[in-house]
Amino acid sequence: MSRNLDTSALRAVLAVADTGGVTRAAGVLNLTQSAVSMQVRRLEDALGVQLFNRAARKMVPSPEGEKLISYARRILALNDEVLMRLAPQQFDAELRLGVPYDIIAPQIPGILRDLSMGYPKMRINLVSSYSKTLKEGFQAGEFDLILTTEFPPPEGVEVLSKRRLVWIGSPDQRAATLRPLRLAFKETCFFRPVAHAALDAAGIAWENAFDGDSETVVEATVAAGLGVSARIEGQVAQGCVALGPDAGLPDLGASYICLYDSGHAKGDLADALRSALRKGYGAAS
């Protein structure tokens, strides 16, 4: 029949080896000295070897003990890893946050990183979607807090800031000179009808350079110089640049970043998240 090693006894052996004695090991393990000695002796009896020699009032591992200690560290490391990965996670606080695609960077990664340092056992369930979808989820009780980009802002909503909309293109700006102007917007993008209306009013012909529902592909299309798009000022994607007045494109007006708060989230973490969102997306940011 197969035999099993007692992990409690293995921990006792490691503690004695690391501290050099039963007394210190008992303090580390929060056990009595007799309990530690009994666990070591039980393991010695099971294996039929002596694990420690006494030298100058110190417990020194025997050659057999050194071999066991090497295995014990690996066995206990795997044991602890299994327990950590499979045991239900316990969180001090959990919040549900929704943020639109176009304003999730660069603020949200920094906000979450800073919060995790102060609240290491927190969990924030972050959902990135369109403002319209986030508002529908908020009304259904799916979120504690959401940010939106809107124009104009609804009454009764906390407005964090008013930001200009800017055209974005590749660094060489070559797409901005093409006519008809090639546009890269997702079909559901909030800024798409704004751009269409501004171009129509300015008498600039345009055509779609992108059909699909991927923000990553939109940004790649713009960065490659195959089209232009629009973003909130300060939220320009990597590889793209904001196009100035010299690009000859019409003004797009402004958008408002709004905060919806259900009021259900309580505690220090919720207050810290609210404060971080106001600071990160406020008028002075």
pLDDT tens for 110-169 read 999 988 888 877 888 999 988 989 999 999 999 999 999 988 888 889 999 999 999 999
Q: Are strands 254-261 and 158-169 parallel, antiparallel or unpaired?
A: antiparallel
Q: What are the extents of the domains in the chain?
A: 7-86, 92-285
Per-residue pLDDT, 78: 92
Q: Are strands 229-232 and 145-150 parallel, antiparallel or unpaired?
A: unpaired
Segment 162-185 mean pLDDT: 94
Distance of CA 143 to the CA centre of its chain: 17
**pTM of the complete model:** 0.62
pLDDT tens for 31-54 read 899 999 999 999 999 999 999 998
Let me know: does 92 contact 269? Beta carbons within 8 Å. yes
Per-residue pLDDT, 284: 54
Compute how many other C-beta atoms are within 10 angstroms of the C-beta atom of residue 216: 9
CATH tag for 7-86 (out of 1.10.10.10, 1.10.8.80, 3.30.460.80, 3.90.650.10): 1.10.10.10
- In degrees, rounded to 5, the angle at the alpha carbon of residue 259 between the alpha carbons of residues 254 and 265 is 170
| pLDDT score of 285 more than 70 | no
Let me know: does 184 contact 160? Beta carbons within 8 Å. no
What is the phi/psi pair of residue 274, to 5°? -55, -45
pLDDT tens for 183-228 read 999 887 888 999 999 999 999 999 998 877 788 889 999 999 999 9
Distance of CA 44 to the CA centre of its chain: 48
CATH topology of domain 92-285: D-Maltodextrin-Binding Protein; domain 2 (3.40.190)
pLDDT tens for 44-90 read 999 999 999 987 678 899 999 999 999 999 999 998 888 777 766 55
- In degrees, rounded to 5, the angle at the alpha carbon of residue 253 between the alpha carbons of residues 248 and 258 is 145
Per-residue pLDDT, 102: 82
What is the phi/psi pair of residue 227, to 5°? 180, 175
